Amino acid sequence: MRITLQRVSKAICRVDNEIVGKIENGLLIFVGFAASDTFEILHYAVRKCLELRIFNDENGKMNNSVKDIQGSVLVISQFTLYANCKRGRRPDFTQSAPPEKAKELYEEFLQLLKKEKITVQTGIFAANMQIELVNEGPVTINLEL
């Protein structure tokens, strides 16, 4: 499982020019699944995303989590996080989970996030999405779980 987190003051997901997900002050979470991933890793991934201290405290130090600031998350499924570009000019995605498995893992990831009583917005799985964001900091963190 690979996750790219971005600390944002605003993030919007559009599909066919319609807003399907929108947040302010929180995390934009891009998540990709490997063929070898299992449901067991999802609990750890949720805890890591929600408890990672990457938001500033009153002294300007990254000391708060998205939960601490009562922020929101926008979660986007992105199999391209598994692009292998070592050979040639065309990325290889053979390590990514097949769409059926990835969708199951993505849906369960979303359900676990929602159980944490945090506002969760999403894109649409496998859709052509346009993402707008204002990255604060900028802060971008890559997680390999």
Q: What is the mean pLDDT of residues 122-131?
A: 98
**Can you state the percent helix, strand and coil of the chain, rounding each to 5?**
20, 45, 35
- What domains can you pick out in the chain, each with its CATH number? 2-144 (3.50.80.10)
Nearest to 38 by CA among 2, 1, 81: 1
Residues belonging to the active site: 80
Q: What is the mean pLDDT of residues 45-71?
A: 98
The torsion of the CA quartet 104, 96, 24, 138, rounded to 10 degrees, works out to: 160
The pTM of this model reads: 0.96
| For helices 40-51 and 99-114, angle between their N-to-C axes, nearest 10 degrees | 50
CA dist list (Å): 44 to 16, 17, 38, 97: 33, 34, 12, 19
**Each residue's pLDDT tens digit, 103-118:** 999 999 999 999 999 9
Nearest to 95 by CA among 15, 2, 23: 2
Q: What is the mean pLDDT of residues 120-134?
A: 98
Q: What is the mean pLDDT of residues 76-91?
A: 95
Q: What is the mean pLDDT of residues 22-34?
A: 98
